[in-house]
Structures are given as C-alpha cells and as structure tokens.
C-alpha cells in the first residue's frame, strides 16, 4: 500500500473481530448443536421394508424392524429425540379416527418397541386425526365442517393411549381450540403426570406441507385446513394461541413452519420463558434438496445456515429431516 495513503480515523472497526477463524468462533453468538435436533420419522406396517418418499429425497417410510435400526443410528450420532408419524392403512381409517387410540395400533406398538430397544431416546408422538381420518382432516367432519369439541374428546383418548404405550411427550398438531387443556387433564386423570405436551401452538395453513402429506398419504379429501390452522398473514394471533396453550398446560410451544416464520419464532421467544420449538418442515427440506441436486447451492452450507437462522431467531429445539445429516456435519 502506498505510503501516502491516508487512513480513516475510525474508533470502531467491526472487521477486527472477523479477521481469523478463531476470532470469529470466539464471538459467535449462536451455536447449533446436536442437542437442538429432533428427528421426525415415518413408520408403516410390514417387515423389512423401506420406501423413499419421492418428494423428500433421502427420507423413508420404515417398517418397525428397520425403523428401530434407523433410530439407533440416529441415537449413535447423538440425536436424543424422535417425532413419530404413522402411515395408516386405508381400511383402518374412518371419520372418527378410532384407530388412533387402538392399544394394539401401529403407533402404540412402535412406541413400545422403541422404548424397549432404545429406552434413552425421547419419543414424541403426534396427536391429530389426519393420518387416521378417511377425510384427511385433523378432526371429525360433519356436513363439510370440522367439529371442534367432538374432535378434542378423541384427541384425549389418543394422547392417553400413546402415554400408556410409553410416549415421553405428546405433540398435538391438530389446532383444535382447547385441546391442550383437555389433554393435560386427561393425562393427569390417567396418572401420566410426567408425560409432557409439546404444543403446535402457532401452526399455519401453509403450502410448505405438501411432501409430508405425500409421506403419510393424508392430504385433505376436500377443501383445506384454513378453518383451524392459522392465516400466514397473521403475527399477533400467534401470541394469542401461545398464551392459550401455556395457560392450558403446554410444556413446550412450537412454530410451524419455521423458515418463512422466523419473525414469529422471535416474537414468541420474547413472550415466553417456555422452550420454543420450530419445525423445519417437509417443503423447506424438499426445496434445499431439489436445488442441491441441480447443483445450484452448496447443500451442506445452506442446511447449516438455515438451521442456525432458526436458532438465532429463538428456537431452542428444531424438528428437522436434516437431523442425521447435521449431526454428522457437527461431529
């Protein structure tokens, strides 16, 4: 540099702390770890089978025997929790979702097997009727409408049945009014005081769920879910939903989806002292995978940046289909 250069008189030079990798690490504000991750998994009937979900490359539906191996692999990578979702046979679906609380059902058998084979893994179960519904909706349908209170009665049975099977935490994803309080009362009445509730508190009526519905073959048979899931345009309403769930006994509150709702995660984190979860949903996963397959992005860097942004926004826990991939990256 020329000796005649006149240097700026700057008291503060933020680049000083970016000069080396060690300095950047020293002042890093957000640290993503394997302890932040919850791994969503899909189970189906049968033996020794796995089916890749076409819209979710690298993600499979597993029969129980192979699912146990998949969960064991995840646990060996340091992943401490899984979220369980079932593919239910069409002949077991009905409008009232009665299979959801069958003590010998797929979900109940899977919970028991996981807790027997890999007891240290936290099992989080989905509480909603859509996988069990002949209409593909989260509640009981009558004259084209989704019934609230009648659905909540079934959700309580479902949650108690999952707790009986050994679930560590139930996660109501249905968005019916009052279901958190009813489930908490139902669990306590049955003696399951220690079973927690991870509430899908701010769950939006999002277009990002498409691949997940492919995985469970649970797309609505009519209409959409806008009468019970939230309007993507609303922010203050999320605080109302979270406040209600906390008052009714939620242990953890969640925002779903995550990537397009970082502002909601941030607002909820500022509002509550409860742990805040974010669901990095199937559409978010699929977009990254599709762009990576085209060679348009650096997959690993984009995954880490995406999940770090969720934690930076305020998420304490992240449900993500990238869980195993990220656990490997972080080793």
3 state DSSP class of 215 = helix
Q: Is residue 14 part of a domain?
A: no
Closest alpha carbon to 55 in 222, 257, 281:
281
Distance CA 289, CA 198 (A): 28
Q: Is residue 13 part of a domain?
A: no
Which pLDDT band holds residue 4 (cuts at 50, 70, 90)?
A: low
Distance CA 203, CA 232 (A): 9
Q: Is residue 25 part of a domain?
A: no
Q: Is residue 321 part of a domain?
A: yes
Element housing 196 (H / E): strand 196-203
Distance CA 87, CA 39 (A): 17
Give the residue carrying structure tokens 């009519």.
222
Burial class (CB in 10 A: 0-12, 13-18, 19+), 115: middle
Residue 215, pLDDT > 80, answer: no
The catalytic residue positions are 203, 256
pLDDT tens, residue by residue, 164-212: 999 999 999 999 999 999 999 999 999 999 999 999 999 999 999 888 7
Q: Which residues pair with 37 in a beta bridge?
A: 318
User: Can the peptide bond before residue 244 be classed as cis, meaning omega within 30 degrees of 0?
Assistant: no
| Angle at CA of residue 67, ends 53 and 328, nearest 5° | 80
Distance CA 73, CA 106 (A): 21
pLDDT tens, residue by residue, 41-88: 999 999 999 999 999 999 999 999 999 999 999 999 999 999 999 999
How many domains would you assign to the chain?
1
pLDDT tens, residue by residue, 154-174: 999 999 999 999 999 999 999
Contacts of 244 (CB under 8 A, 6+ apart): 180
Q: Pull the structure tokens for residue 140.
A: 């009981």
Full domain range(s) for residue 186: 31-330
Which pLDDT band holds residue 218 (cuts at 50, 70, 90)?
A: low
pLDDT tens, residue by residue, 123-140: 999 999 999 999 888 889
What mean pLDDT do residues 96-108 have?
97
Contacts of 113 (CB under 8 A, 6+ apart): 64, 68
Which pLDDT band holds residue 224 (cuts at 50, 70, 90)?
A: confident
DSSP state of 294: T
Residue 2, pLDDT > 60, answer: no
Which pLDDT band holds residue 217 (cuts at 50, 70, 90)?
A: low
CATH number of the domain bearing residue 140: 3.20.20.70
Residue 313: what pLDDT? 98
Distance CA 176, CA 146 (A): 9
Q: Is residue 309 part of a domain?
A: yes
Q: Is residue 249 part of a domain?
A: yes
Q: What is the pTM of this model?
A: 0.94
Q: Is residue 68 part of a domain?
A: yes
Distance CA 280, CA 260 (A): 10
Could you give the angle at which helices 323-330 and 64-76 cross, rounded to 10 degrees?
Answer: 30
CA 136 to chain CA centroid, Å, is: 19
Length of the chain: 331
Q: Is residue 230 part of a domain?
A: yes
Q: Pull the structure tokens for residue 49.
A: 């089978």
Is 241 labelled a binding residue? yes
């Amino acid at each position: 540099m020329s000796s005649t250069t006149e240097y700026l008189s700057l008291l503060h030079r933020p680049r000083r702390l970016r000069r080396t990798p060690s300095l950047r690490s020293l002042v890093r504000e957000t640290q993503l770890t394997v302890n932040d991750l919850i791994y969503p998994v899909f189970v189906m009937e049968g033996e020794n089978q796995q089916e890749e979900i076409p819209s979710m490359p690298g993600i499979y539906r597993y029969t129980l025997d192979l699912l146990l191996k998949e969960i064991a692999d995840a646990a060996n990578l340091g992943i401490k929790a899984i979220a369980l979702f079932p593919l239910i046979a069409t002949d077991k679906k009905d409008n009232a979702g009665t299979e959801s609380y069958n003590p010998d059902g797929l979900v109940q058998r899977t919970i028991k097997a996981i807790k027997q084979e890999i007891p240290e893994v936290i099992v989080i179960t989905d509480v909603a009727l859509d996988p069990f519904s002949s209409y593909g909706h989260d509640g009981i349908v009558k004259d084209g409408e989704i019934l609230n209170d009648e659905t909540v009665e079934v959700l309580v049975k479902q949650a108690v049945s999952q707790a009986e099977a050994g679930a560590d935490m139930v996660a109501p994803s249905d968005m019916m009014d009052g279901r958190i309080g009813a489930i908490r009362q139902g669990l306590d009445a049955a003696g399951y005081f220690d079973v927690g509730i991870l509430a899908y508190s701010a769950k939006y009526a999002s277009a990002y769920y498409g691949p997940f519905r492919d995985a469970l073959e649970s797309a609505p048979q009519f209409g959409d879910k806008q009468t019970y899931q939230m309007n993507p345009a609303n922010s203050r309403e999320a605080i109302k939903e979270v406040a209600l769930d906390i008052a009714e006994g939620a242990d953890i509150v969640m925002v779903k989806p995550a990537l397009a709702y970082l502002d909601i995660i941030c607002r909820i984190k500022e509002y509550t002292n409860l742990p805040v979860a974010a669901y990095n949903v199937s559409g978010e996963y699929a977009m990254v995978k599709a762009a990576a397959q085209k060679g348009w992005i650096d997959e690993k860097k984009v995954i880490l940046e995406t999940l770090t942004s969720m934690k930076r926004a305020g998420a304490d826990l992240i449900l993500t289909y990238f869980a195993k991939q990220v656990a490997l990256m972080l080793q």
